[in-house]
Each structure stands twice: as C-alpha cells, then as structure tokens.
Amino acid sequence: MTTGTVYLVGAGPGSVDLLTLKACRLIGEADVIVHDYLVAPEIIALARPDAERVFVGKKGGGFCCPQRDIEGTLIRLAQEGKRVVRLKGGDPFIFGRGGEEAEALAEASIAFEIVPGVTSALAAAAYAGVPLTHRTHASAVVFLTGHEDPLKPDSTLHWESYGRLGATLCIYMGMKNLGTISQRLQDGGMSAETPVAVVQSATTGDHRQLLSTVGRVALESEHAGFGAPAIVVIGEVASLAGKLSWFETAVSAGVREWSVAP
Ligand code: SAH
C-alpha cells in the first residue's frame, strides 16, 4: 500500500466564498477531513459524503486533543494510504500550529503540502474597512498573539516596545487579556487616543465590529459583549473603519447576503 499525502489547508476566516480554489478542490477529493472548531460547517460540507470527518478542535480553552495526538492521527491516516486534508481556520502557518504538524510529517517521511488561507487579520480588516497599510498612516503591520499571559515573567512579547513601533498591530486571541495589553502599550508610549477596531466573527453572519481607542477598548468591548473569535486592530488606520465599514453597513441594511455558497 502506498502512503497517502497530508494537505495542511487554510480554510480562511469563515465565509465559504473566501476559500481558495485549491482548498475547495482538495476538500472535495479528500478521504479524511481533520478539522477544528473555527472551520465553518458549510466548508466541511464540501467534503465527499463518504469522507471520514475527524474533529480535533477546542474552543476557548475547552476540550482539546493534545497536539501530539493530532500529529499522530495525521501520520497514521497517511500510513493507511489515505488522502488527508487537515483543515485549519485562516492560514495554517499563522497561529495555527501548522509548523509543528508539518515538522512531525517531515520527520515521519510523510508527503505533505501547505495550502495558504486568508488569515483572519486580513479578512477582519478588509471586511471592517481598515486598510492595514496606508500611505499616510502606516507602513508596517505586525501580527501578534494576545493569548500569552502578558504578566508572566517569561512572556516573549514586550508589549511596551510595540507601543512605540508606529505600525498597525493585529492581535489574535487577544480578548481575554485586552485590559493588560492595552495598558502595557500605553506604558510603552502609545497614545490613549490611538484608534482600535475590534472585529468579531469577521466575514460570517455573526460579524460584529466596534471602533474605540486604546484607552477605552477593554471596557467598551466588555460592555458590548465582544469575545472570541475576534481580531483587535490597533493603529491610526483603524479610524478609517468609520467611513469604510462596508460589510456591517450592508448586512445591517439587509442589502447583501453575508455568504455566497460556491
Ligand atoms: N490560523 C488562524 C488563527 C488561529 S488562532 C488564522 O490564520 O486566522 C484563533 C484566533 O484567530 C481567534 O482567537 C481570533 O483571534 C482569530 N480569528 C479566527 N477566525 C476569526 C474570525 N472569523 N473573525 C475574527 N477573528 C478570527
């Protein structure tokens, strides 16, 4: 029996029509789909009816298959000769642990391919009307995780330095620690009036966004009930959502379908 191939596929931020053509084709051809909670059911529904579906996800610190077990499952399925699609929300190499899974496959001499997906920071910004770079406002963009406890002494992120960078900051998994993060950015010199856009469930029917400032965002987003999954975009460009916010406006006016099935 020949060994199968594992495709580490980015499923994009949620909306089916932001899937790449390659992802769509591979999902339709797969013998097995291994996925987590961020992948929309409409996307998993593109798999063959007889394809095996394996859920390995977790939500907000709930049940989760240990990473080692996920890697072991991918290797075992490929060794059984299967064509495996490992589907991940957004892009597999942006806070998706795709790197670890690819390393494990390489070590086990399993053939693999990586299929990029639209990462949620790009999608959230585009749908909220925030150009991440702009000739007048920002020449650099940083992707950060807010998941690490910002108070732990060995935290790898020095938030004060990012407060001085003048770049657009896109924070993944930042809702729980938003109070500490925004305080540390200000301690580093960022103005409390710096605009912030919080975009929850971007591109889906549950899309919500909030425009605030670094000084107020923690309180305001808590009061408005914002939570994961959300991207926090910090920088002068965030204020442009005030006039470029096309998606929320169109959805609330009921003039546009939020998602178009392929
Ligand atoms: N690999 C993914 C990120 C996984 S980490 C990617 O490239 O997008 C999980 C985090 O991604 C969430 O906590 C949230 O910060 C962000 N996220 C994923 N989907 C999102 C969505 N539709 N809207 C806003 N944020 C999202």
The pTM score is: 0.93
Whether 206 is a known active-site residue: answer no
Mean pLDDT, 10 residues at a time, the chain of 262 residues: 93 96 98 91 95 81 77 96 97 95 97 98 98 95 88 80 96 96 97 98 93 98 97 98 90 57 38
Nearest-CA residue for atom 12 of ligand 1: 229
Q: Is residue 214 within 8 Å of 190, Cβ to Cβ?
A: yes
Could you give the CA distance from residue 10 to residue 39 in angstroms, rounded to a whole number? 9
Kindly state if the Cβ of 94 falls inside 6 Å of ligand 1.
yes
Question: Between the CA atoms of 167, 160, 231 and 213, what dihedral angle is there, to the nearest 10 degrees?
Answer: -80
Is 36 one of the catalytic residues? yes
Alpha carbons 233 and 240: distance in angstroms, whole number: 11
Are the C-beta atoms of 56 and 73 separated by less than 8 Å?
yes
Ligand 1, atom nearest to 203 Cα: 22
Q: How many angstroms separate the Cα of 164 from the Cα of each of 136, 158, 159, 168, 234?
A: 18, 11, 9, 11, 12
Domains and CATH numbers, the chain: 5-115 (3.40.1010.10), 120-250 (3.30.950.10)
- Give the total residue count for the chain: 262
Query: Which residue of the set 31, 36, 88, 149 is catalytic?
Result: 36
pLDDT the model gives residue 150: 67
